Structure 1
Amino acid sequence: MRKSIFFVVTVMLLCWNAANAQHVNVTFRANLATVPDTLGPNSVVQIRGTTITAAGHSADDASIDTLAPGVLLAWNGHSTMFLKHIEGDYWEATFPIPAGSKIAYKFFTNSAHDTVYSGADWEHKGWEDNIKTIPGIYSGNRGLDLTTFTGTDTTLPLQFVNGIKYGAEQYFRPYTETDSIDVWFRVNMEGWEDFNDQTQVVGVRGGVSPGYLGDLSWDHTFFLTQEKKHSNTGQCDYNGKYFWSGHVRIPKESVSAGQEIEYKFVIMSKGDPDDADPLRWEDSNRSFTISSTK
């Protein structure tokens, strides 16, 4: 009896390994700082798309593809490929994708709900904008090509969800990376009723006083730039012009991993120098933590 049990278990393991070898565990990482919306940890972040095969599936195919048991890929709410919130604007998930396959996909986000399904009123309120066409992948979608990949696991580079412009590169950055620690500040001013973008601007103060911590200072304002109306409006709740953003650099040698940096958003009169007194400060300090200086 013991030999029979061992034989059965061995066969089951061999079958599982054979099936598992037919898939690649692909980790998707997304940054939502570029979505013209304000999302929380429970907001919907979903991958939608289709497989592209020799049988004729294309990037605009309306079918529902089963990538693995329980893993469905579709261009609508049928997709079960949801990313989970990690921290801040970062979301991540790993899915088994058939080895040797090619898929076209887009990110879908919705801040007002924690799930989405086919037929929901908000089923299509949250598409990202088109991506620059990739050879072999159609209709301005993101592409994943595993046709020459021979491993069992892979992690894709970080992808910013495209709420910036039509035809952005798949792995675009909203800022130019430097040798410093790059911090992307972004704030939604839609809820600040007495803010007037015709006479006022938004900035950031923080870091140290006196002096500077890179571009940050409690005595000087780092001015943010008002964003333009986006061709994609995310959940369709906000106009892109309500968002102000900017790229702050902090020298690596001036901070340490785990260090907490405090800051506040401030309102300034348009045309004021950076050392002028702000018209208004936020009530409480915000903070972010230096995760690494490497």
Structure 2
Amino acid sequence: IENIDVTAPTVASYWGSINPFKYDAWDYDNNTPNISLTDPVNVTFKVNSSTVEGIVDTTSGVDLRGTVTQWGAGSNMVSDGGDYWSLTVALTPGDYQYKYGAQIKNEDGTISDYWENDIPGANYIGDNRTLTVGSSDMMVDLDYLGSGPDGAGSYTPTDSVDILMRVNMSENPDFDPANNTLSMVGHFPNAGQSNMWSPGTHQLTRESTTSDYWSIHLKLAQGYVDTIYDDQVADVGNPLGLHMYRFVVGDSWGGSENLNGEYVTGNENRIFMVDAGLADTTVQWVYWNNKGPEPFSPSGTLSSYTFSTSVANAIAGNGFTLGDTLLVKYGYGGTQSSAMEDTLVNSIGNIYSVSISNFPFNADLGLYYQYYRVKNGVQYRETYFNFAYTGDEQPLAERRFTSFSGVTDGGTASVTDNVPSTVDERRQPTFRNTDPLGQAMTVTYTVDVRPAYYQIMSGDTLNDIQGTLNISDASEIFTRGVSMNGPATGDWVAWGATLDGTAANKMHDDGTNGDAVAGDSIFTVQFAYEATATIGQEFKFGIDGGDNESGYGLNHIENIDVTAPTVASYWGSINPFKYDAWDYDNNTPMLSLDEITDGLTPNHFALSDNYPNPFNPVTSFSFSLPQSTEVSINIYSVLGKKVATVFNGSAKPGTYKVTWNGKDINGRNLPSGLYIYELDAGIHFKQTKKMTLIK
């Protein structure tokens, strides 16, 4: 809308003056351009998210905001892996302001959007970030998310190659920041040391007084990184630059993570690759044991739920004293909204119990829980392994479990752990005694290897989980010898030839070196301790130096009897479901093969019918041998798959009774169905019969 100049009839206009906000490249007051007419240049922004909490490259996002894009979400950055994000935009020369934003996935699946200064864990200092763009492509100096233009990064760079490791401890209810240390162990030659394989030494720092995030700043010598390939030989399981590590609560290996097989088959460590060109870097944060929060949806609520247990075995084992506080923690594995805690009360004798009102439950999930002894304000978790656990989460294998079978909404229920057993899932708790011995002493350790002998005789093999020293012949137990390994011996020794060649760890069954009786299958070794050594000790046994007693994380934890300094163990008691040829409650062989002594020698081979049939879960049958021979008693499924070997070895002439417990070779209960049992005497005789297992 213009008025005509009637003295000089003209109308002069500027294109777009009717909408100057759209035409912001022109200054309509001075009638000059607002911007340079030079070509735009590529500007690359890089930001590191290790300074805030909750961002991972798989479920989170980071974006760029400001006059470089727009003041709001939408210009998403690209994950470069780990904590690093980047975005390249085309900008014309000039001055700009910007910030970052983030999107973080919540536990319920929703997404929360944040401005940079509001991200959890942020410590934003300063106003908007500023940038001046010239006439050439440029890369902006690395920013740290949540720090602001005047804030610091997540660590202070040094002359070394710096690596920042972080772990979130929120999902480890066993970790008490007030009383526990958190450290890292690994191959890294940190700060001039040859390696970090020493629990409790290389400690992490809590990022704030209430933060769940803990971090450690590693410093690798530049020369080490530059020559990383020089002394390594690559193979399939050990590529060049491979470094293993994991996190540890406390100062013993029993408090370490176990990522068994998650990164390297048969190994419990995390991995990090060190390349010859490695520069300072941060490693994306992880949850302890890679286990994050799990949503919980109850199927009902009990009016009351009771935990009850006896501490009689714990007292007898020098691991508990009446007057100590006993806790129960429950809800592991997502079986409650979070891990809960209650104190049990000593009601009568050695019985402790607690009843909890308005107890939510999920009938499909059941409940994982654990007992804890508290002394001087420090919590000590019970020594427990769930032998029936078949899942792949190592932490849950060390928790108790109970189902909610038959439980109804609004009702009551309880779990009672008072069985005086070393195997039963409802067995009484035992605890490691962390008190000092109080005086210097020599302690005698013994191990009865008969469980190994009978397990091999049943047809099983003791597999070396860290090598090839597998034991399949029972006589090898005695010809190859037994060694003891672990902190109780001073420290862990490398399994294999190193352990087998370490004289101090060799055990004896020859009546010397503290061994009471030669040739009785009880091997002995002695170790001298200072008064400051703890009563509770951790160890493991191996034949021929191999790690062939049981799997990863299954170690003996025993308290020394200071009145008569001894620790008596049975081989394999740390995994009785594997050693199903031995009864660890009565410390006798399972009743799988008994000779019937009637003074008569059979004149022919024979296999009897089993009784009872059908059975649940135990049945027996007999067989006769007219001569000495190698005999194998096998169980097959109806499809012909061998599921168990009850006996495999030499037998003299006679009649024998066989008892089978309905379990497979790994100690797992077999389902109902038709099974075939076989007497195999090689070239002399072979016969099969059918039987029915009903549950």
**Normalising TM by the smaller chain, what interval?**
0.5 to 0.7
Find the counterpart in structure 2 of residue 173 from structure 1: 153
> 2:129 aligned to 142, 153, 165, which one?
142
Find the counterpart in structure 2 of residue 228 from structure 1: 208
Q: Distance in 2 between matches of 1:290 and 1:45?
A: 27
Residues 171-194 of structure 1: CA deviation (Å, up to 9, x unaligned): x33222112110111111112122
Find the counterpart in structure 1 of residue 257 from structure 2: 282
Find the counterpart in structure 2 of residue 108 from structure 1: 101
Find the counterpart in structure 2 of residue 22 from structure 1: 39
Q: Which runs of 5+ in 2 are unaligned?
A: 1-35, 230-239, 260-268, 280-695
**Residues 179 and 227 from structure 1, CA distance in 2 versus in 1: closer, same or farther, beyond 3 angstroms?**
same
Q: Distance in 1 between matches of 2:111 and 2:223?
A: 50
Give me the TM-score of the superposition, normalised by structure 1.
0.63
CA contact (8 A) 1:24 1:98 kept: yes
Find the counterpart in structure 2 of residue 190 from structure 1: 170
CA positional deviation for 1:282: 0.9
Q: Distance in 2 between matches of 1:207 and 1:241?
A: 27
Aligned to 2:57, the other structure's residue is in SS state coil
Q: Distance in 1 between matches of 2:37 and 2:80?
A: 26
**Residues 214 and 37 from structure 1, CA distance in 2 versus in 1: closer, same or farther, beyond 3 angstroms?**
farther
Matches within 5 A, 1:66-215: 72-74=69-71, 76-77=72-73, 80-100=74-94, 102-112=95-105, 122-124=112-114, 127-128=118-119, 129=122, 131-133=124-126, 140-146=127-133, 149-151=134-136, 153-162=137-146, 169=150, 172-207=152-187, 214=192
Residues 40-79 of structure 1: CA deviation (Å, up to 9, x unaligned): 3341101122x3xxxxxxxxxxxxxxx6xxxx411x33xx
> 2:212 aligned to 233, 242, 247, which one?
242
CA contact (8 A) 1:40 1:111 kept: no
CA positional deviation for 1:35: 1.2
Aligned to 2:223, the other structure's residue is in SS state helix
Higher normalized contact order (CA 8 Å, seq sep 6+, divided by chain length): 1
CA positional deviation for 1:125: 6.7
Amino acid at match of 1:35: V
Find the counterpart in structure 2 of residue 235 from structure 1: none
**Residues 121 and 85 from structure 1, CA distance in 2 versus in 1: closer, same or farther, beyond 3 angstroms?**
closer
Aligned to 1:111, the other structure's residue is in SS state strand
CA contact (8 A) 2:45 2:87 kept: yes
Amino acid at match of 2:139: T
Q: Which runs of 5+ in 1 are unaligned?
A: 1-18, 52-66, 114-119, 134-139, 230-239, 269-275
**How much is the aligned-residue C-alpha RMSD, in angstroms?**
3.0
CA contact (8 A) 2:244 2:270 kept: yes
Find the counterpart in structure 1 of residue 243 from structure 2: 261
Find the counterpart in structure 2 of residue 59 from structure 1: none
> 2:221 aligned to 240, 251, 262, which one?
251
CA positional deviation for 1:226: 0.8
Residues 231-250 of structure 1: CA deviation (Å, up to 9, x unaligned): xxxxxxxxx61011121111
Amino acid at match of 2:165: F
CA contact (8 A) 1:207 1:213 kept: no
Please identify the structure whose Cα radius of gyration is greater.
Answer: 2
**Residues 245 and 277 from structure 1, CA distance in 2 versus in 1: closer, same or farther, beyond 3 angstroms?**
same
**Residues 123 and 73 from structure 1, CA distance in 2 versus in 1: closer, same or farther, beyond 3 angstroms?**
same
Find the counterpart in structure 2 of residue 273 from structure 1: none
Find the counterpart in structure 2 of residue 219 from structure 1: 198
Find the counterpart in structure 2 of residue 31 from structure 1: 48
CA contact (8 A) 1:42 1:85 kept: no
**Residues 36 and 42 from structure 1, CA distance in 2 versus in 1: closer, same or farther, beyond 3 angstroms?**
closer
Aligned to 1:187, the other structure's residue is in SS state strand
Q: Distance in 2 between matches of 1:181 and 1:20?
A: 44
Q: Distance in 2 between matches of 1:143 and 1:178?
A: 27
**Residues 109 and 201 from structure 1, CA distance in 2 versus in 1: closer, same or farther, beyond 3 angstroms?**
farther
Query: Aligned residue pairs: how many?
Result: 214
Find the counterpart in structure 1 of residue 512 from structure 2: none
Q: Distance in 2 between matches of 1:186 and 1:219?
A: 18
CA positional deviation for 1:279: 4.7
CA contact (8 A) 1:47 1:105 kept: yes
Amino acid at match of 1:110: Q
Give me the TM-score of the superposition, normalised by structure 2.
0.28
CA contact (8 A) 2:190 2:218 kept: no
Q: Distance in 1 between matches of 2:190 and 2:92?
A: 51
Aligned to 2:50, the other structure's residue is in SS state coil
Amino acid at match of 2:112: W
Q: Distance in 2 between matches of 1:156 and 1:124?
A: 22
